[in-house]
Amino acid sequence: MTRVKLGRWLLWGLLAAAMAGGGASAAEPRKPLVVFAAASLTDALQRIADDYTRATGVVVRLSFAASSALARQIESGADADVFLSADQQWMDYLEERGRIRKETRRDLLGNRLVLVAPATSSIELRIGPHFPLRAALKGERLATGDPDSVPAGRYAKAALTSLGVWEDVADRLVGAENVRSALAFVARGEVPLGIVYETDARVDKKVRVVDVFPATSHPPITYPVAATQSASTGSLGFLAYLSGPAAQATFERLGFTVLRAGRP
């Protein structure tokens, strides 16, 4: 049996044990699991957490924000059991500081970066080297996550830099506190264009995808997950559930790519 398959069987064994134990003491109050997750995971994790609670009786409390903000809260001692980041950097940040259980860390999901406009907009653009992004803004602004801290903003800066247009639009940027805030600027028509994840664009009918950024224009968009150093033992059951068929189906239905091989 390969190392990945063995790890998966062990995780599912832990989940089964947790569920069996929960059934034996159903009358006892259980401490809720606290999950910190990137804002772009909001819709998917809310559904998955509800399903998990129905299956196990364990309440899951979700806290969504930019990965940077969540990582700093965990570093400062926030009461979290599980962390899902929208990039590797903020998970690395916590691992380097001994704030996660590195043996539980694995890459869970992938995503794509897209250029969006209000649904009523007539803007048409094809993304490519030196494409006329600044001209399309017509003196207005471009929304994305803050490139200095928010993963979506960093991916956007990397993509625009590789395509040779970052310097054209750097002074026109609205750097939002997280990717959902950037999406809201576009949905409300406050900016003509924004750069968000494909999964974010799917959840808001007030925006439309103008084009998709080439995967080669930015680092791979991956979502690592891990239990924190202070996590309860129940966190292992939730981590296993995230890699199970029900959660994977939800992630895929909402547009994420499921990385079934995980992190070696």
| 70 within a domain of the structure (yes/no) | yes
Helix or strand or coil: residue 100? strand
| 98 CB neighbour count, 10 Å cutoff | 10
The predicted structure's pLDDT at residue 122 = 95
Q: In what order do the strands lie in the sheet containing 193-197?
A: 173-176, 142-145, 193-197, 113-118, 207-212
Can you give the residue range of the structural domain that contains 175? 113-217
44 and 16 in a common domain: yes
Provide the whole-model pTM.
0.84
239 and 161 in a common domain: no
Say which CATH number the domain at 179 has: 3.40.190.10
DSSP track, 65-82: E-HHHHHHHHHTT---SE
Determine whether 20 is exposed, middle or buried from the number of CB atoms within 10 Å of its CB (0-12, 13-18, 19+): exposed
Tally of CA atoms within 13 A in the half-sphere of 144 that contains its CB: 31
The predicted structure's pLDDT at residue 23 = 40
Which residues of the chain register pLDDT less than 70? Answer: 1-29, 261-264
| 264 within a domain of the structure (yes/no) | no
The predicted structure's pLDDT at residue 29 = 52
89 and 118 in a common domain: no
104 and 77 in a common domain: yes
235 and 179 in a common domain: no
249 and 187 in a common domain: no
155 and 90 in a common domain: no
Query: Number of structural domains, the chain?
Result: 2
226 and 106 in a common domain: yes
30 and 118 in a common domain: no
Both structure tokens of 68: 């940077």
71 and 26 in a common domain: yes
177 and 137 in a common domain: yes
